[in-house]
């Protein structure tokens, strides 16, 4: 029978540094590999196990895809040692993506906190590539420090197609001043709600840590966003990736299978969801 735990090997085509602790890996896509923004792959390094990674590249690229890995544990440390031309194992793509179809006719608000920018990048790139297909788009992105900023080489491109607001929690500059080149402000991501004029009746896609969700959803509710118009990606220990091992259970859902992207409507009553 089909073995859902079987891996496919994928060659590393390119490795770039992203921020101070992350690396962006361009990987050769296996045959018929298709994904949508918000989905993830399980990366498998025999000897070091498996871990889930958001796919962060442009979904229209068929031959390769990208994952961004911050060095935080055993597997990511090993991944960081790898070189161009070597291969890794992957399973997937898995999970429910952000419902991008929904925003062809509606304005879109993207809110990212920290590494949460990763699964939103496919959405950003998809919109920039097909700008006419979509309506007004705003992106609010908050990171802790300058060194945490991901995909900073693309910000000018992002600004050309969408309203991009950036904030840093602790902008560490020797002089204590804000680095001008980022065109950012100081504060957490919710502080951007006061600066950006948020489009009412937009759909919101969020990705960030649980604490960000608490405050952002509060803001969105003040702006009369409906629960079904708020989508958020949950982070959990997605161990098997196929909805069996139960490590990522949230209420009656498996985050790896029913999520990671959920509408707030669906999970707002689940204890401990955020």
Partner 1 sequence: MTSAELRKFINFLIEKGYIVWAPVKKNNIVDYEEVNKADNFQMIQEAPFYSFKRLLIPREETLFEYKDNELKEVNNFKDQVIFGINPVDLKALVLLNYIFEKDPWYQGRMKKTLIIGQSLIPKEPEHNIFHYKYKEDILEHLQFDIFIEAQKGVFNTKYFFYTGSEKGQRILDEYGYNEYENIQFAGAIKEEGQDKNMIKYRDSLKNNYKKELWEKDLGAKCIECGKCTTVCPTCFCFDIKDQPGLKSGGKRRRARSSCFYSDFSEISGNHKFLNSTAEKIYFWYYHKFVAIPDQLQIPGCVGCGRCAKVCPVGINIFKVLTELDNNEKSIQNSNLQNFKD
Ramachandran class of 251: left when φ > 0, alpha when ψ lies in -120 to 50, beta otherwise: left
Q: Which residue has the tokens 């031309």?
A: 85
212 is a contact residue toward partner 1 (CB under 8 A): no
DSSP readout, 59-118?
Answer: TT--SEEEEEEE--SHHHHHHHH--TT-EEEEEEEESB---GGGGGSS-EEEEEEGGGHH
User: Comparing C-alpha atoms, which of 211, 148, 209 is closest to residue 184?
Assistant: 148
Whole-number minimum distance, CB 236 to partner 1, in Å? 6
DSSP structure class, residue 235 = P
What's the first-to-final CA gap in the chain, in angstroms? Answer: 37
Q: Which of 3, 63, 175, 177 is the binder for partner 1 (CB under 8 A)?
A: 3
Give the length of the chain.
Answer: 274
Whole-number minimum distance, CB 268 to partner 1, in Å? 6
From 92-100, 147-155, 185-193, 248-256, give the range in contact with partner 1 by CB under 8 A.
248-256
The residues, any chain, with a CB within 8 Å of residue 2's CB and separated by 6 or more, are none
246 is a contact residue toward partner 1 (CB under 8 A): yes
274 is a contact residue toward partner 1 (CB under 8 A): yes
84 is a contact residue toward partner 1 (CB under 8 A): no
Q: Extract long-range pairs of 125-133: CB within 8 Å, 24+ residues apart.
A: 125/57, 125/58, 125/59, 125/60, 126/37, 126/58, 126/59, 126/60, 126/100, 127/161, 127/162, 128/157, 128/158, 128/160, 128/161, 128/162, 129/58, 129/60, 131/161, 133/104
Q: Which of 41, 51, 100, 125 is the binder for partner 1 (CB under 8 A)?
A: 51
88 is a contact residue toward partner 1 (CB under 8 A): yes
From 19-27, 99-107, 143-151, 215-223, give the range in contact with partner 1 by CB under 8 A.
215-223
273 is a contact residue toward partner 1 (CB under 8 A): yes
Q: Which of 13, 21, 28, 48 is the binder for partner 1 (CB under 8 A)?
A: 48
252 is a contact residue toward partner 1 (CB under 8 A): yes
From 146-154, 183-191, 200-208, 234-242, give the range in contact with partner 1 by CB under 8 A.
234-242
Contacts (CB under 8 A) with partner 1, residues 136-195? none
As separate numbers, helices (DSSP H) first and strands (DSSP E) second, the chain gives 6, 15
Whole-number minimum distance, CB 230 to partner 1, in Å? 13
Q: Which of 49, 99, 179, 187 is the binder for partner 1 (CB under 8 A)?
A: 49
Give the nearer residue to partner 1 in terms of CB position, either 177 or 252: 252
From 1-9, 77-85, 141-149, 157-165, give the range in contact with partner 1 by CB under 8 A.
1-9
Interacting residues with partner 1 (CB under 8 A)? 1-7, 9, 44, 46-51, 70, 72-73, 76, 87-89, 214, 217-218, 221, 235-237, 239-240, 242, 244-247, 249, 251-252, 268-274
């Amino acid at each position: 029978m089909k073995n859902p735990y079987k891996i496919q090997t994928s060659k590393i085509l390119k490795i770039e540094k992203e921020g101070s602790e992350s690396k962006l890996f361009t990987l050769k896509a296996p045959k018929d590999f298709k994904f949508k923004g918000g989905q993830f792959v399980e990366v498998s390094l025999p000897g070091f196990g498996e871990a889930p990674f958001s796919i962060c590249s442009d979904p229209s690229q068929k031959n390769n895809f990208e994952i961004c890995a911050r060095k935080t544990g055993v597997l990511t440390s090993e991944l960081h040692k790898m070189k161009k031309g070597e291969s890794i194992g992957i399973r997937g793509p898995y999970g429910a993506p952000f419902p991008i179809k929904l925003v062809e006719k509606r304005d879109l608000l993207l809110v990212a906190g920290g590494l949460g920018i990763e699964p939103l990048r496919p959405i950003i790139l998809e919109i920039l590539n097909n700008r006419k297909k979509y309506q007004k788009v705003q992106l609010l992105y908050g990171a802790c420090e300058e060194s945490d900023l991901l995909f900073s080489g693309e910000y000018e491109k992002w600004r050309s197609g969408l309203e991009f607001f950036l904030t840093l929690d602790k902008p560490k500059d020797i002089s204590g001043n804000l680095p001008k080149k980022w065109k950012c402000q100081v504060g957490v991501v919710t502080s951007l709600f006061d600066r950006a004029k948020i489009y009412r009746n937009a759909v919101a896609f969020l990705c960030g840590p649980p604490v960000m969700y608490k405050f952002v959803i509060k803001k969105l509710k003040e702006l009369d966003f409906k629960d079904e118009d708020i989508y958020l990606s949950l982070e959990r220990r997605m161990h098997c990736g196929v909805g069996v091992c139960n490590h990522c259970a949230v209420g009656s859902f498996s985050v790896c299978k029913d999520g990671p992207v959920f509408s707030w409507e669906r999970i707002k009553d689940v204890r401990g969801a955020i």
